[in-house]
Amino acid sequence: MNFQLPTPDSQGDPPPDSKGDCARVNSLGAVSWVLAVIVAGVVVATLMAQAPQTPAPAVPPPPQQPSEIQLVISGEPGTPPRYAVPDFVALSPDAADIAKTLGQVLWDDLNFEREFYMIPRDTYATIPAARTAEEVPFAAWRELGADAVVFGTIQKTDPSTVRVQVRLYNVRSRQTVFAKEYTGSATNPRLYAHTMSDEIHQQQRALRGVARTKLTFSSDRNREKVAGPVQNRDVKEVYIADYDGEGQRRVTTNRQLNIFPVWSPDARAIAYTSYRRGYPDIFIALIYQGLQETPTNGVGQNWLPTFSPDGTRICFTSNRDGNPELYVMNRDGSGVRRVTNNPAIDTTPTWSPNGTQIAFTSDRSGQPQIYIVGADGLNLRRITTMDSYADRPTWAPAPFNEIAYAGRSGPGYDIKVFDLASSTTRQITFGEGSNESPAFSPNGRHLAFTSSRTGRVQVYTMGRDGKGLKQVTRDGNNYTPGWSN
C-alpha cells in the first residue's frame, strides 16, 4: 500500500501510475466531457443563429430554474439593453453634490463604450426617487423602457472619507445583478463612478472599459515664452487628464519644449521628448514618485520614445549615426540596438501588440509613408500606398489587427486605419480641420487624436468607427495625445 500524498521530492519525477496522476486524468476527463457538452451546445446555438428558418426540434427549451439569477441583462431582441442611471442618494446631507456627480459620471462612462442604450437623465423627472433599495419603482422604470437601473448611495463617513454603495437591477426580474461597496477618500469621487463603470462593463459585457484610464498630451496653455535669444517661442509642457478630460494636471515645469508624451504600460511613467538641455532628448517622468530618468545618457539627440508593450524596452528616433534612424534600448538605456539603416528619414515608431514588430514612418520612397519592420531590423515592408504623406502610425492593441495613422488629405490630414489582414484602409475623419496624431485606447475601441476643427488644435476622442466624437481639451493648443493602460 503506497497511498502517500506526493511530497516535493516525488513531484519532480512522479511514477507513471501514481494516484495523483490517475486523479488528474479523471478530472481532465470530466472537464473534457463538460467542455464537449458546452461546445456542442454552442455549435447548435451558432447553427441556429445562422439558419433561423430551420426548424429545431432537437434543442430542448431552457430548463426553468427560478433559483438561478440571470446575471447579464439583455434588451429587446436585436437592441442593446436600455440603462437608467439616476442621481445617487446622499445618506448624509454634505454628500448631495457628490451624489449628483456620481450619477452623471457613471452615465457618461457607461455611455462611452456604446454597449448600452443610455436613457437620457433628463427624462427621469416623472419617476419617484427611491430613498432605499426597497423603494426602487421598477414599474415606473419599466414604463420608461429601462432594462437595467442603477441604485446607488453615498455617505460621508467623516469629512475626508466616503462610503459608496451601488446596485445594478434587472428591471424585469427585479433582481440585483451587480452590487458593490467602495470606501475611501472623498477627494476624487469621480473615481468611484469610473470603477463601477469598468466593473459593470466587465461583468455585463466581458469588456475592458477605459473609465479609469488617463490621457497625456503636450500643451501651450500657459502662454509662457521660452527664455532665449529668439522671441515668441511658446513653451509646451506635458499634461495628464482622465480619459474624459477631467482632472487636467501639469507634469513638466521646465518652460521648454516638452512634446510627444507616451505612457509606460504600467501607467506609472510618461516618456517624452524635452528640449530642456537645448536639444531634443528622451526623459521619463515617474509621475507618482516625482522622479525623472534620462535613459539615453547624453548620446546624440533622441526623440519620439515609445514603450514596448511589456514595458521593458523603448524604441525611439535618434540622429546619433548622422541621420534620423530607429533604435531600441532597454528601459534603463542599456543594450542599444539600431533597427533601421537607410539614408532617408526613419522616425515615429510604434510597437506591435506582441512586441515583435515596429511600424514607423520613412521617406525612403520620396514621401513619408508607413512601414513595418521586425524589432530585430528584418522583414521590412511598406503598408501605405494610397496617401501622398502618412505619419504617426499607432498599432492597435489586440484583438484589432490594425494601424491608425495621419494621412494627408486636402490641405490637412485625416485619421485613417489600415487593416493588416485585408490590407484595406478606412477613414474615420473627413476634413474637419486637420486631424493628426492618433493614439489607441487600451481596449482598441477608441482613438485619441488632435484636430484643428474649432480653430485651435485640441485633443479629441472618437470610436474606432469614427462615431462618438468627444472634445477632451479646451485651453490653449494641445498636441500629440497618449492613452494609458
Nearer to other proteins, 103 or 407 (CB): 407
Nearer to other proteins, 165 or 434 (CB): 434
The nearest distance, CB 332 to other proteins, in angstroms, is 24
Among 26, 323, 365, 385, binds other proteins (CB under 8 A): 323
Site for other proteins in 275-304 (CB under 8 A): 275, 278-280, 301, 303-304
Site for other proteins in 335-354 (CB under 8 A): 345, 347-348
Among 413, 418, 440, 460, binds other proteins (CB under 8 A): 413
C-alpha cell at 273: 521628448
Nearest to 394 by CA among 329, 306, 460, 473: 306
The nearest distance, CB 463 to other proteins, in angstroms, is 23
Instruction: Specify the residue for cell string 515615429.
Output: 348
Q: Which residues lie below 8 Å from residue 425, measured CB to CB, with a gap of 6+?
A: 384, 386, 407, 416, 417, 418, 419
C-alpha cell at 58: 432537437
Contact string (CB under 8 A) for other proteins, positions 2-41, x = contact: ----------------------------------------
> What is the Cα–Cα distance from 434 to 457, expressed in whole angstroms?
9
Contact string (CB under 8 A) for other proteins, positions 200-239, x = contact: --------------------------x--xxx-xx-x---
Name residue 21's amino acid.
D
Nearer to other proteins, 155 or 429 (CB): 429
Site for other proteins in 361-400 (CB under 8 A): 361, 363, 367-368, 389, 391-392
The nearest distance, CB 438 to other proteins, in angstroms, is 11
Instruction: Specify the residue for cell string 420608461.
Output: 144
Cα 198–chain centre separation? 11
Nearer to other proteins, 199 or 234 (CB): 234
Among 115, 436, 442, 444, binds other proteins (CB under 8 A): 436
Nearer to other proteins, 189 or 305 (CB): 305
251 half-sphere exposure, CB direction, 13 A CA radius = 32
The nearest distance, CB 317 to other proteins, in angstroms, is 6
Using the rule CB under 8 A, is 443 a contact of other proteins? Answer: no
Among 106, 259, 271, 404, binds other proteins (CB under 8 A): 259
Q: Is the peptide bond before 137 cis (omega within 30 degrees of 0)?
A: no
Report the 3 state secondary structure along 206-233. CCCCCCCCEEEEEECCCCCECCCCCCCC
Supply the DSSP string of 338-400, one letter for each residue.
Answer: E----SS-EEEEEE-TTSSEEEEEE-TTSS-EEEEEETTS---EE---S-SSEEEEEEPPTT-
Nearer to other proteins, 248 or 369 (CB): 369
Site for other proteins in 125-184 (CB under 8 A): none
> What is the Cα–Cα distance from 386 to 320, expressed in whole angstroms?
32
> What is the Cα–Cα distance from 16 to 201, expressed in whole angstroms?
46
Handedness of CA 380, 382, 383, 389 (dihedral sign): positive
Residues in contact with other proteins by the rule CB under 8 A: 226, 229-231, 233-234, 236, 257, 259-260, 273, 275, 278-280, 301, 303-304, 317, 319, 322-324, 345, 347-348, 361, 363, 367-368, 389, 391-392, 406, 411, 413, 436-437, 479-480
